[in-house]
Structure 1
């Protein structure tokens, strides 16, 4: 029987998501990778328990996580809840998303229709055996569905009690502004945007999404803050066979050239001077942006979660450190 640590709230820092009353931990757990059908369930359970013991209360999923067995991450998370964590449901913030291809036929492909979003969330709730999720996101902007329809679907989901709050993911600043206008008119609790953001991906800044979010009370819950593992110590001295690049992820492998490795090594030197690992500094750097309420960090083993959570012990940067980072990343 799982009993969480009675010290789980001693260290973690929690911040309000946008202007809402919902507090999220500075470090959240993303279940995009390593929680699908092909993973080892005992490892998944250990990682979730470790996260909760560290005060990580926010667990982020999506209907298609677990690819190629879409939905298997939610199923496994539901099993973990069944095995001792469900009684702590009110201490958890559980989010899921829908928007990408999920099931066969015209109603389960990539879209933002009312038909797809409501059906998908119903499926997610069944897989996790939940009455509601805390945050439900539209996973990706759909240019072929009127944004009004997507907004009305999100509003209906809240009014039906299937989600407490709604958000969007992979929406740029202009798309976010349009969605916020619609949801504000409907009175829907729209609190978060989930974009990709890291030292190596600054699109949030270039697009102005972070500034818009701050000005309009939206929290950014950023994914891939470690840039698919590049901003860790895994690639400083070659390509490990058990890494995502080592396993043949060509999309990532194409980016790993000598110039990038040199930048990673320089960043690692700076992190060591700060008393952090490269991954901890990368997470702290994301959280240094005041628009970012939480970083969604994935993991493949327990120790990574422990290391990631420790980033909150050193969130401040001197001006000299920030300038050095900018110089390295040029």
Structure 2
């Protein structure tokens, strides 16, 4: 994907893996075909639309995609794989991240269940294998031991976690270090309305240990796009599970939206694009972002964020009106 003529940004290293990824990746929870964890959160996207969303992302330089077992119990993975095939992408030409669901499972199931993930993603392999959340049944040490075994067998290219706090990141890193390996990433919520990683030790620990952070919900479920402020009636169209959370976010979003509007005018951009740019560039190269897209147009619009290099003063302005 490096031959994009108008690309003004650079790929950056994922953790200490030597793997170069676009600062923005495509999240694919919305590809779940209305099943699993998508029930009441996402509607149904037909495969033709998914194909176009993925194609637009690839055309703009996106070279990695994030999915999970929980996203429709394989439906998102399968839909993503079909879209990549339709786009003419061969195995190894893009980077795929997926997640293992730890609920009531032993750590050994990381190994036994990987073939199922590979089956849904076929012919593509799992590049970044992530623990979806810490869980209670299997210890972090045991999880990392099994991840290390998969890495050494050549089954995966990188090891990641999601929703881990700072101390859990340290435990995972220490265990992997015993295998001569390093944790590549931790996927966490991060946006202008939720900056907890800046104060709870996660961002600081990531920098110290050389771990990348992957921000999910970088637009706060659409609140930072301004669409609900412009059209309050849209809130009633949101699946009921998300509605209460969005209402809370809207209450504290007004000064942020105002500042985003002011800055976006300088770049002839949308406020959502500036909000994404703040996530992927505001902390140097430490934070990647996952932007979902439910329409091909939205996929194209997200790409504009990659070219918006906010100044230190603009980042400070946004920081001053937002908070944890």
TM norm structure 1: 0.86
Query: Alpha-carbon deviations, 1:201-241, whole Å to 9, x = none?
Result: 11111112112111211111211111111110311223354
Answering whether residue 290 of structure 2 is matched by residue 296 of structure 1, we say: yes
Hey, what's the Cα distance between the residues in 1 that align with 2:167 and 2:64?
A: 27
Hey, what's the Cα distance between the residues in 2 that align with 1:186 and 1:244?
A: 51
How do 1:213-232 residues align onto structure 2 when only pairs under 5 Å count? 213-232=206-225
- Displacement of 1:174 after TM fit? 0.9
How do 1:100-139 residues align onto structure 2 when only pairs under 5 Å count? 110-111=103-104, 113-130=106-123, 132-139=125-132
Q: 1:6 to 1:274 in 2, by over 3 A?
A: closer
- Displacement of 1:199 after TM fit? 0.6
Alignment partner of 2:189 out of 192, 196, 204: 196
**Superposition RMSD in Å:** 2.4
Q: 1:5 to 1:273 in 2, by over 3 A?
A: closer
| Kept in 1: contact 2:99–2:132 (CA 8 A) | yes
- Displacement of 1:256 after TM fit? 4.6
Q: 1:112 to 1:209 in 2, by over 3 A?
A: farther
Query: Alpha-carbon deviations, 1:231-281, whole Å to 9, x = none?
Result: 10311223354x686333334244154443454244323322443311111
Indicate the residue corresponding to 1:80 in structure 2. Answer: 83
- Displacement of 1:307 after TM fit? 1.5
Alignment partner of 1:313 out of 307, 311, 318: 307
Q: 1:217 to 1:257 in 2, by over 3 A?
A: closer
Alignment partner of 1:96 out of 87, 95, 98: 98
| Kept in 2: contact 1:20–1:191 (CA 8 A) | yes
Q: 1:86 to 1:257 in 2, by over 3 A?
A: closer
Alignment partner of 1:20 out of 17, 21, 45: 17
DSSP-derived class of the 1:148 partner: helix
Q: Number of aligned pairs?
A: 312
Answering whether residue 252 of structure 2 is matched by residue 246 of structure 1, we say: no
Hey, what's the Cα distance between the residues in 1 that align with 2:146 and 2:135?
A: 13
Name stretches of at least 5 consecutive residues in structure 1 with no aligned partner: 101-109
